[in-house]
Amino acid sequence: MEKKNKTTMPKKYNRVNIAGLNIKRIRTTNFPNMSQNGLAAQLQLKGIIITKNTIQRMEAGLCAINDIQLVAIAEVLHVTIDKLLDESPYQIKYPTEENPNKNVAE
């Protein structure tokens, strides 16, 4: 019997965070010279212990982002937390009881 992790979305949605896509979009659009390594370095200056690999996993939706990290990322990228959590650019749809087959839009 497979155990379910309550902090992640079902596997078919392939993401465990909402903000990752926005972090990548904002980082590459507003700061084209800021690499994942550069973002990690800026966060480290704010006292966040993080690596480039963690940034990569966050942007890919493979690891959760805690509230302290989210606040620091918003500060470094000069945006609000709301901007990082905005799903509208990606039209993400989650299943409902009426339509259990909805899937994440790409």
Q: Are 12 and 102 in contact (CB under 8 A)?
A: no
Distance of CA 79 to the CA centre of its chain: 14
Maximal CA-CA distance, the chain:
47
Interatomic CA distance for residues 67 and 71, integer angstroms: 6
pLDDT tens for each residue of the chain, 106 residues long: 445 444 444 444 578 998 999 999 999 999 999 999 999 999 999 999 999 999 999 999 999 999 999 999 999 999 999 999 987 766 555 556 665 555 544 3
pTM of the model: 0.73
Please give the Cα distance from 16 to 2 (Å, whole number). Answer: 18
Tell me how far apart the alpha carbons of residues 31 and 8 are, in angstroms, rounded to a whole number: 29
